[in-house]
């Protein structure tokens, strides 16, 4: 694949390393609005874009990819308040978008297990809480991964109507404990507790490698397709 990397921070560099190791070509890197103009000719050579930037840049970056009719894989989170707009344009124009809060295969297995746990917890009256820890540079709280875990629990549960990262927590509110420390790559835990016992699902990322490998696999999956896709489509 000829890949354009949109966002050239730590994740962008990890993607570059993984892509080159697999024999792909990085035709352009873009890290600010000015570079979209300066590197336009290079961007037009790309087969696909992989976007890991910042929450306040993602929406504009996706639309710039659409302007070039460039399929785009998006790993940035905390822009989903504009997801409906992006989906609408993608489908109306026959474009291609793959977005996910987390590209790790292991984390996506946990997403599936989380839904099962939520159903059983609802049936057998376990109370659920979440905890997530990331490095101090992460801007969004909670992480997009934690938000997905929480939203999936709410969808499967009759007990919870919302989630929050701040006390006090009403009875129908799912609590999320957020920690930012050091250079932690990401730890997510779902805890289901009863008066008798506790069940814990935990996923810990040891590096950014799993995210990079998953994003590259998603890019290969998206090539030649039109429409909107997620990791659930990929895993199936």
Placement of tokens 């399929």 in the chain: 71
Out of 24, 134, 188, 203, the active site residue is: 134
Strand partners, 5: 29, 50
**Lookup: tokens for 182:** 């050091």
Going by C-beta distance under 8 Å and a sequence separation of 6 or more, which residues neighbour residue 63?
Answer: 86, 89
Query: Annotated catalytic residue: which of 2, 10, 44, 138?
Result: 138
Question: Which residue shows structure tokens 């109507």?
Answer: 161
Give the closest residue to 135 by CA, choosing from 205, 31, 30, 79: 205
Closest Cα to residue 110, out of 227, 44, 26, 188?
188
Report residue 234 as tokens.
């990929």
Tokens of 217: 């696999």
Distance in angstroms (rounded) separating the CA atoms of residues 17 and 89:
32
Cβ neighbours of 70 (radius 10 Å):
19
Asked if 138 is an active-site residue, the reply is yes
The helix or strand, by DSSP H or E, that contains position 235, with its residue range, turns out to be: helix 231-235
**In whole angstroms, what is the distance from residue 3 CA to residue 27 CA?**
6
Active-site residue 125, yes or no? no
Cβ proximity of 86 and 59 under 8 Å: yes
Per-residue DSSP letter, 158? S
Provide the annotated active-site residues.
134, 138
């Amino acid at each position: 694949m000829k890949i354009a990397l949109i966002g050239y921070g730590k994740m962008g560099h990890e993607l570059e390393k993984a892509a080159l190791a697999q024999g792909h070509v990085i035709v352009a890197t873009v890290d600010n609005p000015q570079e979209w103009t300066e590197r336009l000719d290079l961007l037009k050579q790309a087969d696909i874009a992989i976007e890991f930037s910042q929450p306040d840049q993602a929406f504009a970056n996706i639309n710039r990819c659409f302007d070039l009719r460039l399929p785009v894989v998006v790993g940035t989170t905390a822009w989903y308040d504009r997801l409906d707009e992006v989906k609408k344009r993608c489908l109306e124009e026959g474009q291609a978008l793959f977005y996910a809060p987390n590209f790790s295969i292991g984390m996506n297995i946990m997403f599936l297990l989380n839904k099962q746990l939520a159903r059983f917890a609802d049936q057998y009256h376990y109370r659920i809480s979440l905890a997530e820890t990331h490095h101090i540079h992460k801007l969004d709280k909670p992480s997009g991964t934690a938000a997905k875990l929480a939203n999936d629990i709410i969808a499967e549960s009759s007990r919870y109507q919302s989630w929050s990262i701040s006390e006090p927590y009403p009875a129908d509110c799912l609590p999320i404990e957020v920690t930012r420390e050091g250079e932690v790559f990401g730890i997510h835990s779902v805890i289901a507790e009863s008066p008798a016992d506790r069940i814990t699902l935990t996923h810990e990322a040891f590096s950014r490698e799993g995210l990079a490998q998953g994003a590259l696999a998603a890019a290969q999956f998206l090539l030649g397709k039109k429409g909107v896709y997620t990791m659930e489509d990929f895993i199936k």
